[in-house]
Amino acid sequence: MIHFSAETLAPKQNYKFLTGAVAPRPIAWITTTSKEGGIVNLAPFSFFTVVSSDLPYVLIATTRKNGQKKTLPEI
């Protein structure tokens, strides 16, 4: 697996990497681990975007019509 460190990339490289990761809109897989018992949750997210590339941040929206996704309390 290839790893990238935002600290070693220039802001322009971070921008290109992040915008390439969210367009066209793929499915983001978010993994969390519960506090009790260490249960791993893998959830698909399609509602996410880049917030900043200088400090690389990606925003996810955890909303659901019929209640809350399990991911939100585990983040």
| Per-residue pLDDT tens digits for 46-70 | 888 888 878 888 888 777 777 776 7
The three-state secondary structure class of 42 is strand
> How much of the chain exceeds pLDDT 90, in percent?
0
Top-confidence residue, 65 or 34: 34
Give 27 or 67, the one with higher predicted confidence.
27
Query: What is the residue extent of each domain of the chain?
Result: 11-74
Model pLDDT, residue 60: 84
E-strand ranges in the chain read 28-33, 40-45, 48-52, 57-60
Tell me the average pLDDT across 14-33. Answer: 81
How far from 38 is each of 8, 30, 31, 47, 74, CA to CA, in Å? 32, 16, 12, 26, 11
